[in-house]
Amino acid sequence: MAKNIKEHLEDTFNDLGKDELKSFKNKLCDRKKEQGVRKAKIEKVTDAIDLADLMVNTFTSTGALPVTIEILQVIGCNEQAAELKENTGQCLPVARSHVDVVDSGAGLGLKVEFALSDDWHTQLHVLPCSQEFKNKILRENGQEIYEIKDKSVRKRLALLINNIDFDDKDMTRRGADRDEDNMEWLLKELDYQVVKYKNLSAKDIEEAVKDFAKRQEHAYSDSTFVVIMSHGKRDAILGVRYNPISNPSDTFPIDKVYRCLNTENCPGLRDKPKVILIQACRGGEHGRVWASDGESMAVEGDDFVHKEKDFISLMSCTPDTKSYRHVQNGTFYVQNLVDVLMKHAHEDHIEELFRKVIRRFDRSDLMGRFRQMACKDRASLPKLFYLFPGL
């Protein structure tokens, strides 16, 4: 059942912090345009339900919306205003699944913890793995570990796509440039050559992934990373041309990443770990493909291989939930991902590294009143993937 105006207002007010609600009530009392609200009435408001009741009773269901949006914009809550527009069909909605912005400098009284300082990458490096540790791990469990090619001969590639500036200016992903810098630094520290794109439509994202899958360097690599950062829906990434009314089709299904990089379409990465990192909000073919090592068509020279294998993904949030981004420091997902890999990639395999990232989000003090949970997805690694940084 569709929500009514009052319920939408309750949702919006519940999304505000204590200081934001106080600012909203103060502006409501001071409002000069048309009708204001007596201070005595506002003082009786104790929660989001009371405030929604007051708005509807004072301005009617029709009038409460524009007044609420106006005040939200005045007090700097543009993201909440945009989401309210989208959810109620007011104007052209912002193309975003959820409000995802945190600004601790906007007087919200938030207590958030940042994993990375402003100048961290000018002072630090990914901790290097020792040759002794690598030898020990391979000696004890070598058959269970992906082969890592010698640094002198391998050609590792990573794909990094970051959408910051959208046609709809309200969708600008403030702070996402910091994510790009941090992620590019990390990938280079892990000895990957970074193929980078910015501000792509869905069609351009697909072309970028397809072109990446065709790169000849994969034959000389031992693994790859694909990082895509943008606004998103449950199972898709939004292109920069996206608009829910005029251009709702500018979406790139995340499933296409796996299709482009599977054994059939990217044989250079066959039996090699493929790490997919998606920073965005989150919705049958046979599971095998015929493969041959040579030109012979004789059955005894061929074999069935898995069509999709050796993938692991870490999504920034669970389905249908929010993924938060600080307007100066970038997303909590990228901050914690970089910090964990920087400190622990020398001793842990990728699934343990991802568990440590997820563990960060389990802490109640990480993001103040905000909550987010990163999660692994579509994992098909039959072996352990150690990055062995520095080796």
What is the Cα 54 distance to its own chain's centre? Answer: 37
- Listed range (43-47, 221-225, 366-370) with the worst mean pLDDT: 366-370
Checking if the pLDDT of 74 tops 60, the result is yes
What confidence tier does 277 reach under pLDDT thresholds 50, 70, 90?
A: very high
- 286-331 residue pLDDT tens: 233 434 443 333 333 445 667 899 999 999 988 877 788 877 788 8
Taking Cα atoms as reference points, which of 216, 153, 37, 142 lies closest to residue 383?
142
What confidence tier does 97 reach under pLDDT thresholds 50, 70, 90?
A: very low
pTM: 0.70
The predicted structure's pLDDT at residue 248: 87
The predicted structure's pLDDT at residue 119: 56
Checking if the pLDDT of 263 tops 90, the result is yes
Q: CB-based burial of residue 256 (10 Å sphere; 0-12 exposed, 13-18 middle, 19+ buried)?
A: middle
The predicted structure's pLDDT at residue 367: 67
The mean pLDDT value for 115-134 works out to 77
Q: In DSSP terms, which residues pair with 145 in a beta bridge?
A: 384
Which residues carry out catalysis?
231, 281
Question: CA 172 to CA 179: how far, in whole Å?
Answer: 14
- 204-262 residue pLDDT tens: 999 999 999 999 999 999 999 999 999 988 889 999 999 877 888 999 999 999 999 99
The predicted structure's pLDDT at residue 376: 95
The mean pLDDT value for 155-178 works out to 92
The mean pLDDT value for 53-78 works out to 83
